[in-house]
């Protein structure tokens, strides 16, 4: 398919994991893709997309900095033209007992996961309104936006915030032809897999290496972990014309793990 030919897509946190899978999906369907990350490997990831036949650029950007976010969308506009789809995927997580959770970790998690999504949505909306072409915003939340998990209250709070942001913005910009939706990935096999398994497993005290994530997968009705491509497929749908009448929604992609 070539559903996104001549469309410009921004994916934050797009240099690895779910973000890269999203960028790859849009590139494969003809989009002009800008991947943004605070990590210097972002240009290498963009080069991989170009090697695969995509039209892509990498931009180093701290999504917690409003000026940096504005510069990101300026760069995209100069290179590709007005943004049509913006995917707010950049995120971080730490795991700690409440008495050990630092104010610094709380602030950093809220800044990247919630404030970062807000700043990118704000800037994308400005550009979409100016272009008059409408657009699509997709915010990456989490299964923890449905149910907070132990030792991650800051992460859960940040992702619940993403859902609230999504609903509020959807009501405001629907008149402009802009849809705003959120996606809640469940247990997805990414570069964070080993970290989550080790740290949570050690803290829960019942699991050896590899055992915690395996136990979680057993609770998934489909009996498998998700892949980045599973999340990317849903986002491509939400960004397509087939989703013209869908906005303000939060959709799980988790193999049936959470059914609410």
Residue from 20, 151, 155, 195 carrying the catalytic annotation: 155
DSSP at 226:
B
155 a catalytic residue: yes
What number of other Cβ atoms are within 10 A of residue 125's Cβ? 20
Dig out the tokens for 54 from the structure. 């995509």
Measured CA to CA, the distance from residue 137 to residue 187 in angstroms comes to 23
Rounded to 5 degrees, φ, ψ at 70 are -60, -40
Are the C-beta atoms of 93 and 101 separated by less than 8 Å?
no
CA dist list (Å): 81 to 23, 56, 84, 90, 164:
17, 13, 9, 22, 29
Residues marked active site are found at 155
């Amino acid at each position: 398919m070539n559903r996104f030919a001549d469309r410009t897509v921004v994916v934050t946190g797009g240099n690895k994991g779910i973000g890269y899978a999203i960028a790859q999906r849009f590139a494969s369907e003809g989009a002009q893709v800008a991947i943004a990350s605070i990590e210097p490997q972002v240009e290498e990831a963009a080069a991989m997309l170009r090697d695969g036949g995509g039209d892509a650029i990498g931009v180093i950007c701290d999504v917690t900095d409003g000026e940096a976010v504005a510069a990101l969308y300026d760069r995209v506009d100069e290179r590709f033209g007005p943004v049509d789809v913006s995917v707010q995927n950049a995120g971080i997580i730490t795991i700690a007992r409440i008495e050990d959770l630092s104010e610094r970790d709380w602030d950093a998690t809220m800044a990247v996961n919630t404030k970062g999504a807000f700043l990118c949505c704000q800037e994308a909306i400005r550009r979409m309104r100016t272009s008059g072409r409408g657009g699509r915003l997709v915010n990456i939340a989490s299964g923890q936006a449905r149910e907070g998990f132990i030792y991650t209250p800051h992460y859960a709070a940040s992702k619940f915030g993403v859902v609230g942001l999504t609903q509020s913005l959807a009501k405001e910009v629907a008149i402009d032809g802009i849809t705003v939706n959120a996606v809640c990935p469940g247990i997805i096999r990414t570069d964070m897999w080993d970290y989550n398994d080790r740290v949570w497993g050690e803290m829960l005290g019942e699991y050896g290496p590899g055992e915690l994530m395996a136990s979680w997968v057993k609770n998934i009705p489909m009996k498998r972990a998700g892949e980045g491509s599973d999340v990317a497929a849903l986002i491509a749908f939400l960004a397509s014309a087939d989703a013209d009448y869908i906005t303000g929604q939060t959709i799980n992609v988790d193999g049936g793990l959470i059914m609410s």
